[in-house]
Amino acid sequence: MSRISAWKKALLRWGNDRLWYRWPLLLYPLAMNFRRRNGYFPNLLRPRSMNEKTLYRMLFDRRRHLPKMSGKLESRSFVRQRTGTDAHLIPLVAVMDRPEQLRDVTLPQRFILKANRGSHMTYIHRGDTPPDLDQLVQLCHTWLACDYAKYEREWVYKDVKPLLLIEELLLDEAGDIPNDYKFFCFDGEPRWIRTCEDRHGIEATFTLFEPDWTLIHEEIQHGTGLLPPPERPPHLDEMLQLARTLSRGTDMVRVDLYDVDGQAWFGELTNTPDAAVLRYTPRDLDFYLGSFWKVDTRTPLDL
């Protein structure tokens, strides 16, 4: 490769790294994807629905605290700082910046492997036989090669470190993956909860509740039919209080929690839920849920 060609490629990389997240370049592809996935064109002059306001954040919100709350490892530090304790953090087995380091980790019988930045990058191991390390190393290389911020056009992941995390795997009393409780918090107050049952299975069911556990809506993402709505978790009040603590000072953040072994456990924080493309049925539900969000792209968060 000539020096001129190398210089041109370096210049293009430099420009791409600085321009890809500017909203004029993101507006068209994100708006078109929004229209295709949600069935209506977003109103960004006056966003009203949950998806519209999420898209607005993806385009225009560049506050520095958002990446610090988006990474799996960074959010653990945020929880520790906000609560003053590690009591709600799932025990951490290892943090790695290279997939090959997996071979040097003493893995527990049950664990969950995650990519630090991004979504849907998880591997759950709960078997009696050891995992296939060659396959895991290859999978982790795929994860780390994906610049999630550019791939999904979610700026909140831009400065999140490309790391791998291994945590102990939480299981409920029946030995199953516990329900995932997603608390959508606005101005420091949980306004609605989205539960996920059998999230990693073929019949994942998602249900919406008010904070007092009044059913809002039940929808099916996978499987053949609706399951009965989940019962009120025994430590709902504790989870609500933890969600308030972690969301204090934010206009919107989703706090994911678990209720296992007699207490609330922290999962993750999400600033751009579902990348603004979760289709709600009926559509009015999208606007009802978005009515709680008073969009603020300027006020910094006191970490």
Kindly list the structural domains of the chain, giving each domain's residue range(s) and its CATH number in brackets, ordered by start. Answer: 42-86+174-290 (3.30.470)
Return the pLDDT at 182: 97
Question: Who's near 75: CB < 8 A, 6+ residues apart?
Answer: 69, 266, 268, 269
Q: Residues near 286 by Cβ (< 8 Å), separated by ≥ 6?
A: 38, 49, 50, 51, 279, 280
Encode 54-67: b = buried (16+ Cβ within 10 Å), e = exposed.
bbbbbbebebebbb
What is residue 4's predicted lDDT score, i.e. its pLDDT? 64
Neighbouring residues of 268: CB distance < 8 A, sequence distance ≥ 6 = 72, 75, 256
268, two tokens: 């993750």
pLDDT of 186-226, one tens digit each?
A: 999 999 999 988 666 666 778 899 999 999 876 544 444 45
pLDDT higher than 90, residue 28: yes
Note if the pTM is more than 0.85.
Answer: yes
Separation CA 11–CA 13 (nearest Å):
5
Q: Would you list the DSSP string of 104-138? A: GS---SSEEEEESSSSS-EEEE-SSSPP-HHHHHH
Mean pLDDT in residue range 120-145: 93
Residue 267: is its pLDDT beyond 70? yes
Contact call for residues 253 and 246 (beta carbons, < 8 A):
yes
Task: Using the predicted structure, report yes or no on whether residue 135 has a pLDDT greater than 50.
Answer: yes
Q: What is the mean pLDDT of residues 81-110?
A: 96
